[in-house]
Structures are given as C-alpha cells and as structure tokens.
Structure 1
C-alpha cells in the first residue's frame, strides 16, 4: 500500500506560526497596524531592496506594479507564454495589450533571444514593461533582458513568486531575486504552496522611492492625506484598490520569513536528491534545465518527460502516480492558448512554449517531505512510465 499522499506542494505551519497569529488576533489591530510595516521592513532587508510593499496576493502585486508605472490603455507589455494567468492579466487590467514571448524549451524561461523575437511583434505600440518570470525558482538572465528592455524604452518587472531565496551570480557579483538591481520592481506571492505562506498575500519590492509611494497609495483606494489638513482629511486624486494585507497575515509572514534559511536549505537538499535518484531514468526523464547563473530555491520540481518515447500519455502517468500516493501538476498551459487571448490576438505559434508544455510535470517538493519521500516519488514515476 502507498504511504500518505504527497501533494506537489504544501505549506509548513508550525506551533510558533500559530502562536504568532494568535498574538496578532489579541492585539489592537487586525489590519492596517504595525505588523504590516514590520513585515515589509523584514522582507526588504531579506532580499536586499530599499522598499517592500505588502498587498493582498501575488496577482494584486502585479496589478499594483502596472498601476505604479502608470501603464496606459493600448500600450504593450511583454510576458512569457509559460506562466500563470496573472502575469498577462495584470496588463489587461489597465487596458494594455499583451505580447507573448516564447521560452527556452528546456528551462521554461524567457530568454534574450525570445524577448528579441517578441519585440518584433509590437505592431507600433509603445512598450512599457517586460515581465520575465523566474519559473520554478530559477532566475532568468536579468542583465540580458534588462538591456533589451532599456533599448526598447521599457523596464523590467520581475514576476518572482517562485523564487524567494534564489541567488544569482552575474559576472563576479552575487545578487538575490528581489533586490531589483536590474528591474523597476519584483513581485512575490505567499500562497500556501510558495516558499513562505501567509494564506494569501503578496509583496512588491523596489528601489525607487516614487514607485514605492505610488504602490502604497494604490493599494489603499488611491487615498492620500495632504499635509496641513485636519487629521481625518483624505483625498482621492484617482481610484485605487483595497489590496491591503491584514496584520494577522503579516504576523504569519514574519514568523515564516524567519524560517526562510531553513526552508531554502531543505528545498535545495531535496532538489539535489531528486537529481540523483532521477538520473537513471534519463533520457526519458530529465529535470528542467538550470541556468549557470542561477542558484535556485526551487518552488517546483519540474521534470521533462518524453511521453511519446515511453508510450504513455501524461494523463496516464498522472493517474498512475496518484494511485501510488504521489501528487503532480502541470506548470503551465501556455497562456496564449487561453480562449480569451486566442480570441483577442489569434493563434500564435511559440515552439519553445509548446515543447515545454508537451513534456513538463511537477513532482512533490516542500520542506515537510522526508528524505525517503524523494525515492518513493522516483520509484512511482519509474513504475508509471513502465521503465
């Protein structure tokens, strides 16, 4: 009989997390209180950014980034085809048009070459932002993408919910995802399957004082409080949104953030173990490619499987894994395939994204896994593939 079901991802909530939330529930503020700023300051220090602005979720973080940049209807934003829906949708929220970039079929990442190709499809629109995704936790080539975006008159906004804790080395300089050395902003998510969890929650980091102030204004209805007015006075120069993150969730975020070094070390160890036990399954199964500059804290343990060569469909493999107590997931269906985007932009052939989607499958990866669970997953995958 298989052991307990292993989901592809899961939060790690411990007694001190519960205590932190309970203390916040007993405090004076459940929302818009002091724990929000404490979480923001701790997060900014952790990733090496000047500012961190907390918000309701990772999608809100992306929307706020577009609002902070004042992206206008009819302008263009480039997003990779392999990502979650929110990366593209945030541009549509402000009326901008999405241009989908292809990805490297081995890593799933936007590359300078695929961005260069996407730049040829702007159709005369002004490009405002490029949204590379640090897919799975591996970092994109930020300097290469930054140069192309700058030359096109745009900025980078890193979509980084998978990559909290990921380090990068460009030249002789070690950097952290979120330190925004190459971008205007970076966005994060604290959904339960991410590296740290607040239930729902998001963050935007930036080194730009003006962008930080605009992010804070737009997350709270667009309200400002002019100096010299009565203490109750507020004004709304333009509508914003209620994208605040409550204190009670920031309490959980602070507790989780303190565990990031342990969570990161555990994810790295499990990923290394996966590479070891999956090696005998090559060439039918290979882990997603890791760029040489990336030292990831993987959110997803994605493997690429030659389903045709093994004579199994992906659905058959997923169901066989489930029967053995192993969960899995597909990250992602190319966003340009979605009915909304097909209707808006027509059929788009992106061979790298199609090749990635045809082969990808994400296996269980989370800090609460036991060492033996990795071997159990590998055995289940071998049996599911008939190898």
Structure 2
C-alpha cells in the first residue's frame, strides 16, 4: 500500500545518525543544539527548543504562557487532537472555533463573531488561541493578531505541517504575529527526525521556561541555580517538569534533513502542479491557497462535491493500493470531546470539510505516473 506521505532517507542521513552512534553522546549532546540553531536560523527567530515530539512542544508552549486550571484555550475545530489535548494537560478548559471549509484554516470571521459574542455576554475570553496551519499553508496571522492582540490573547501557531512555507513572504515560524510556533518532525512531515518536535519564538524567556520544563524542571548551571552551587556535581529541581527531550540520534537526522527541506518542497510543488492541472476542469478541487501564502505542501487535500463521491473515491484508491486518508475529523466530534459536552454540529464548516475532503499521495519520491493513476481513479469516481 502506497501511503499518503512518507519520509525520504538518503545515505547522508544514515551517515549522520551513524556518526552519532559512534560518538560519546547519544543524548544531551551537541547535535540537539545544532538542530535548534538550524531551525531557528531557517525561520528567522532567536530561540528554539527541541522536544521529543510536537505534542510535547505544544504542551510546553501552553505551560510557558502560563496556561493553568481556570484558564480557557480556544483551538481551531479541524486539526489532530493534540492541538486541543495540550491545553487539557495543563488543567485548562477548551473551546473551539470553526474553520473556513475551503482552506481548512481557522475562520477569521468565526473568531471575530465568537469573541464579540463572549464580550457581549461577559464571558471569559481565552488566554491562548491555538491556530493550525493545515496541509502547510499559514492561517491569516495578521488578521488573527489584530483580533487577539488588543484582548491580550496569546497566539500559538501549530505549524506541525508548515516548516518551509511562507506567509507575507516571511518564513512560517518567524513568529511575527504569535508568541511561538511549533513544528513536528514525524516521518510524514516536511522533514523528519524519526520522532521529534520544536518550539520556536522571539521570546527568550518563553523558550527558556519551555526548555526547563522539557528536562524535568532541573537546573545545573550556577547562573540559574537558586542555591549556592557547591560543586560541578550540583543540580536542583526548580519546577515540576517532564522528560520531553530530543536525543542526539534524532537530532542528527533532523540536521541532515533540514539541508534538503527546500528541495523536498520544490519537488512536491511540481507534483502539486500536476495534480492541479489534472483537476482544473473537474468538480474535484484542491484546498484554496491564499495569495499571500506559499504552502510547505505537507498534504495535498482535495474536496469533492458530496460525501458519497468522496467515500467512493476513498474505497477505489485504497483498493488500488493508494493509502489515502482524511485530515481531519472535527476534534469536537471525537467521543472524548463529545463527553465533555461538545458537538460537531456546532462547527458546520469543520463538519462539511470532513465530509468533502481527502488527502491524496504527496511526497518527494512520488512518481508522476502514480499521480496520473490517482487522478484517473478520482475522475472516474467523480463521473460515475
């Protein structure tokens, strides 16, 4: 079964990992810092902290912003569940904002309406808004910041899909309109470290708090110790933290992959152009890409006119050996969140998106012949 996406691992990636395996440090060594510097430099930010996965980075982002019991965090209704779970880990309450079904991104209009409604009713506004750059395309960050900034609502960019994309000609992750951004290095993401994540920000205090919490809340350097440091062996736990660290083995793969990120994206852009040309005169249409955005093309998502056609195409592609999938069901529709009182019916655009959408295969090593096969099956299902 051909997956909807997969990693490309080259000989230089393998050599980089082997070099670490032969070194003195498998973890807490120099490669993690090199990976952090590389991603920070790519994004144009001052600070970065690597984590064991993007879910951990989202959790740390919430903690570093002071999210705790009694606070409320709003999240885009369409995403992987980790985008919402991270706030619940902090003891906060969660609520959702509907999306624009044509882009899959959080709806600025829906956010504005929800904020105005809460203000009129005297209800508590969120401490943090988590926005999700679905498929690799940035949300309209300037418009979101214009709504949230005056209300002192911090924005976290869940940019798990989006490393290498741009917004207003700035690299996603520059944090011009947000407190921080979070990336994922899962194997199907723009680059991989096997598993891994990273939090980036222009706010050094935020990142240092995240770094502390990512390593058990333990401090070793004399400058930051609260007690007089009696010797090089001394360390102290200052906060209740977690073991969210990335290993040097993973970081070495990430460092090597980062060198080819732009090449990966360029190759996927060519495949996207092939898809777009083939679907141009059909009822099957890709997600709308906004004019001021350049997508990282983590996913190629198309939308069908109705759920029955989408389901027929899903079955036909799976039967032909193409592992297509849906990204994503509305988070409020999952049983866990329904048990908390949420209903997908309250987010009609997210529900419509889930009924119409399908992620087709897209990865650097995908062959143009296979793209043509996928397109042919889609068009046949759409016309039948």
- TM-score, normalised by the number of residues in structure 1: 0.93
- 1:215 to 2:210 alignment: yes
- State the secondary structure of the residue aligned to 2:358: strand
Q: CA deviation at 1:126?
A: 4.6
2:156 counterpart residue number: 157
SS in 2 for 1:320: helix
Q: Tell me which residue corresponds to 2:274.
A: 273
Whether contact under 8 Å (1:321, 1:384) holds in the other structure is no
Cα deviation, residue 302, structure 1: 0.3
- Residue-by-residue CA offset, 1:92-140 (whole Å, 9 max, x unaligned): 0001111100000111111221212332358733521111101011111
CA contact (8 A) 2:32 2:251 kept: yes
- Of 204, 219, 237, 1:224 maps to 219
Alignment correspondent of 2:167: 168
- Could you tell me how far apart the structure 1 residues matched to 2:276 and 2:309 are? 23
Distance 1:371 1:52 in 2: 37
Counterpart of 2:312 (choices 313, 316, 319) is 316
State how 1:166-245 maps to structure 2 within 5 Å: 166-169=165-168, 174-225=169-220, 226-227=222-223, 228-229=228-229, 230-245=231-246
| Alpha-carbon distance in structure 2 between the residues aligned to 1:29 and 1:346 | 47
In structure 1, the gaps of 5 or more residues are none
Contact 1:100 1:118 in 2 (8 A): no
Equivalent residue number for residue 132 of structure 1: 131
**Which of 87, 100, 104 in structure 1 is aligned with 2:100?**
104
Q: Which residue of the other structure, out of 343, 361, 365, is the alignment partner of 2:358?
A: 361
Displacement of 1:313 in angstroms is 4.9
Matches of 1:20 and 1:28, distance apart in 2 = 14
Q: Do the aligned residues in 1 keep the contact of 2:333 with 2:342 (CA within 8 Å)?
A: no
- Cα distance in 2, alignment partners of residues 377 and 313 from structure 1: 15
Whole-Å separation in 2 of the counterparts to 1:86 and 1:152: 25
- Conservation of the 8 A alpha-carbon contact between 1:63 and 1:90: yes
List runs of 5+ in structure 2 lacking aligned partners. Answer: none
1:381 and 2:378 are equivalent in the alignment = yes
* 1:70 and 2:71 aligned: no
**What's the RMSD between the two structures over aligned residues?**
1.5
Contact persistence 1:78–1:118 (CA under 8 A): no
